């Protein structure tokens, strides 16, 4: 009887939160490391190295002349959107010579953010193409840099020839709430895309 009373009063253990993997991709200097750092609730892991003269021929810094470091492997952070939903963020390296890492980072990813800079819009073509070819749902997030010309969503969509279902959002990668809104968009879009595929397969 004593054990029975204790069992009835015992709280059930809380269910483990669902953990989802999200990639943050885009061109060189577009703000991937900044976005992961702004939104992460833990000290983000960064693999940045100083830009050197040896890399000048292959690192195009036109438009981002103030950039002095670059990600050479990945950025990593974590954010809890709800008590039952945790996102693990993996920022990809932007330069072409590090693209071989993308396949490893993309394994098991629910979806992705493709960050874009309207001053160097062509730099995100590779990321858009990568996720389209692999069927990974993504949101296109325009990082609104200070002094950069603002363009309407439809103009950006047309310039990148995005499918109509791909969300396009404006953001400030430095701002936690703005970055969080981008991640919510990715999760909602990825889950909706996954449900649509399951329905089509029935």
The superfamily in CATH containing domain 16-201 is: P-loop containing nucleotide triphosphate hydrolases (3.40.50.300)
Query: What is the rounded distance in angstroms from the CA atom of residue 123 to the CA atom of residue 59?
Result: 12
**Does an H or E element contain 58, and which?**
none
**What is the β-pairing status of strands 18-26 and 85-91?**
parallel
Hey, where are the domains in the chain? 16-201
**Residue 71, burial from CB neighbour count under 10 angstroms (0-12, 13-18, 19+):** buried
* 180 touches 79 (CB < 8 A): yes
pLDDT along the chain (202 residues), means of 10: 49 74 93 94 72 48 51 80 94 72 90 95 94 96 90 94 96 97 97 89 76
C-alpha neighbours within 13 Å on the C-beta side of residue 123:
26
């Amino acid at each position: 009887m004593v054990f029975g009373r204790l069992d009835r009063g015992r709280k059930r253990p809380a269910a483990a939160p669902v953990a989802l993997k999200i990639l943050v991709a885009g061109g060189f200097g577009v703000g991937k490391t900044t976005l992961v750092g702004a939104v992460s609730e833990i000290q983000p892991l960064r693999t940045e190295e100083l830009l050197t003269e040896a890399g000048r021929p292959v690192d195009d810094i036109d438009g981002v002349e103030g950039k002095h470091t670059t990600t050479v492997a990945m950025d990593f952070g974590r954010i809890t959107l709800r008590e039952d939903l945790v996102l693990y963020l993996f920022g990809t390296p932007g330069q072409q010579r590090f693209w071989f890492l993308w396949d490893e980072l993309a394994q098991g990813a629910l979806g992705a953010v493709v960050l874009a800079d309207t001053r160097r819009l062509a730099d995100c073509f590779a990321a858009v193409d990568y996720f389209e070819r692999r069927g990974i749902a993504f949101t296109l997030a325009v990082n609104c840099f200070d002094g950069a010309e603002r363009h309407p969503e439809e103009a950006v969509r047309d310039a990148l020839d995005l499918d109509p279902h791909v969300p396009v959002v404006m953001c400030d990668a430095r701002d936690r709430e703005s970055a969080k809104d981008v991640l919510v968009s990715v999760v909602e879009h990825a889950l909706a895309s996954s449900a649509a595929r399951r329905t089509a397969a029935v």
